[in-house]
Amino acid sequence: MSDLEATLAYQLTAVGIPFEREVKAIPGRKFSWDFKVDDLLIEIQGGIWMTKGAHNTGVAIIRDCEKMNLAVLHGYRLLSFTADMVTSGEALAMIEKAIGERK
């Protein structure tokens, strides 16, 4: 678990939001999401300013598009956050709003 993932896990736990970690939500596929809260699949995008990171090559962008599209087709909602969004609490606030809308 990355430091950012640990931070979001701590925040979710602190406000009593149950979650799952490293969820493989698409049957028969290896895609995993950092968190699952209800019907939300959550990704934390670390290293977005790196010249060549895990998510900013052409191949990686194509893979991420497929991953996100399949999740939607399987009935999930998606949220994606940067490091700043996690550390500032913006990610937690958005998750709370998203799950509050479903209750």
Angle at 77 (CA atoms; ends 21, 103), nearest 5 degrees:
90
Give the three-state DSSP class for 18: coil
Q: Does pLDDT of 93 surpass 90?
A: yes
CA distances from 21 to 38, 49, 54 (A): 12, 25, 19
Can you give the residue range of the structural domain that contains 19?
A: 3-100
What's 92's domain CATH number?
Answer: 3.40.960.10
Strands 77-82 and 40-45: parallel
Task: Provide the whole-model pTM.
Answer: 0.86
Count structural domains, the chain.
1
Show contacts of 88-91: CB within 8 Å, 24+ apart.
Answer: 89/11, 91/8, 91/11, 91/42, 91/44
Average pLDDT over residues 11-24: 97
- How high is the pLDDT of residue 58? 78
